[in-house]
Amino acid sequence: MRALRLLAFGWWFQFKTISRSPFEGLFQIIYPLFFATVAFLMFRAGSDTKTLLYASLGSAVMGMWSATSTTAGGAMQRERWHGTLEALVASPPHFALILLPITLAMSTIGIYCLVATLLFGRFAFGIDLTVEHPAAFAVSIVGTVLSFGALGFLFAVTFVRYRAAWALGNLFEYPVWLIGGFLVPLVLLPGWVRPISWALAPTWGMNAIRESSLGGTPWPDLALCLLLGVVYVGIGVAVLERVLGAARKRAALSLT
């Protein structure tokens, strides 16, 4: 019970911290609109409304992923700069209960990217946003946010130990757009890429969101997305104590 309270409060606290940064807020407003514009211009050639919705959803999830992947690393770096990382590590709870809410807060910010991108597509490009299964669509978004947060958590575990690892977040940003099938269907990618795609929760989250909005069944995709999220958290928790031990051994917690 205490763990759940800590997760919930930590999420709210971190969400409040992130959402109070005007610079990051501006970044979150403008950045996804670039993706959306490029995607709409690419897909406008085909006049099929379903294709445009496909692109619209893809670029929306691109924004969500970018918010998580790039800012998860930035969040750890910010904790170092502000000297709060040591304060968090020196507190009694398992560090996973402190770290997971940080990355979940990041991925929650991604919901804004999704909404902004969809509205931008609607009003700037006239894309029809009819969602076939609104409830399933909402659940898919929540599931995707959770799995993004879980993947961000796995990244953040390495950011705790390696201060320059925030760059990894940027490194993973673009490949996942492609490998996750955000804009290009996975069948068009080489066969060897597909196992990598299957191991990524964003792939299944994207599928679930598309299925629910285009009239299909999102549940198997969503289940896989969440399952992978649980696996990421499990791996993260399993290695976290060792990573923290190494950081305490190498005095890496206070380095900026």
Tally helices (H) and strands (E) across the chain.
Answer: 10, 0
Which residue among 64, 98, 206, 225 contacts other proteins (CB under 8 A)? 98
Smallest Cα–Cα separation from 183: which of 49, 63, 19?
63
Decide if residue 76 touches other proteins (CB under 8 A).
no
- Cα 12 off chain centre by: 17
CB closer to other proteins out of 128 and 241: 241
Decide if residue 251 touches other proteins (CB under 8 A).
yes
How many Cβ atoms are within 10 Å of 198's Cβ, its own excluded?
Answer: 13
Place of tokens 């953040």: 156
At a CB cut-off of 8 Å and minimum separation 6, what does 16 contact? none
Q: Which range binds other proteins by CB under 8 A, 64-72, 80-88, 110-118, 121-129?
A: 80-88
Show the tokens assigned to 84.
Answer: 């709060």
What minimum distance in Å lies between the beta carbon of 230 and other proteins? Answer: 24
What minimum distance in Å lies between the beta carbon of 59 and other proteins? Answer: 29
| DSSP conformation class of 184 | S
Contact 233, 175 (CB under 8 A): no
Q: Which range binds other proteins by CB under 8 A, 17-25, 151-159, 183-191, 231-239?
A: 17-25
**By CB under 8 A, how many residues form the interface with other proteins?**
29
- Cα 135 off chain centre by: 21
What minimum distance in Å lies between the beta carbon of 98 and other proteins? Answer: 7
Decide if residue 92 touches other proteins (CB under 8 A).
yes
Q: Which residues bind other proteins (CB under 8 A)?
A: 2, 5-6, 9-10, 13, 16-17, 20-21, 82-84, 86-93, 98, 245, 248-251, 253-254
